[in-house]
Amino acid sequence: MAIILENCTSLSIGIFREALAAPGDTVTGSIRWSVEEEETGSIGYRMIKNLESPLLLLDYTVSGKDAAQVVDLVAVPSNLQRGQYWIFLCPVSGRRCKKLHLIRGQFQHRTAVPSVFYRQQARARFWLSYYLDTCEVMEELLKAAEAPYFREYYRGKLTRRASRMLRKFEKLKPFIEDRHTGWPMIEGRR
């Protein structure tokens, strides 16, 4: 099954800049995610900096189960020859990266798991997403047509907006009206 990265919780190294610059050997904190002011998740972290390379200890909950993970941080020299910057070392693949995604209960780089795509990549690869996108566009067209300020005709002529909407609708019509299988037939895609 394909995983869409935009739907995954992710950690960016930028979140930990202040913790890396803070004085002391150990820094603790938490990160919270929210959607429309409703908290969707949180992670507690502890950074141990008195080692050769700092360690990031993550404590979080996935699907009702407590989980803990250790992530190494690596210093990389700047290409401008002005010091260094910090990046994650992926706990699964060992790859250096600036962002880790929560995939299958573990924070890891996107290349550590097969069949992980950005939304745009999934649209290009899976014909089912074309059908779902078509339904979304049709829904948007219907909402726009039902808006109180929408005018289909002005002085007896079809408005530009209405003609654009009709052209979009005509393009999408074959996808929706396929009665034989219930699914659109897209040439060259299966």
Band of residue 187 on the pLDDT scale cut at 50, 70, 90: very low
Domains of the chain: total: 2
Residue 189, domain member (yes or no): no
Same domain, 152 and 85: no
Residues in the chain: 190
Band of residue 173 on the pLDDT scale cut at 50, 70, 90: confident
Predicted confidence at residue 1, as pLDDT, reads 60
* Rounded (5°) CA angle 9-11-15: 135
Same domain, 25 and 99: yes
Q: What is the pTM of this model?
A: 0.63
Cβ–Cβ < 8 Å for 33, 8: no
Predicted confidence at residue 181, as pLDDT, reads 47
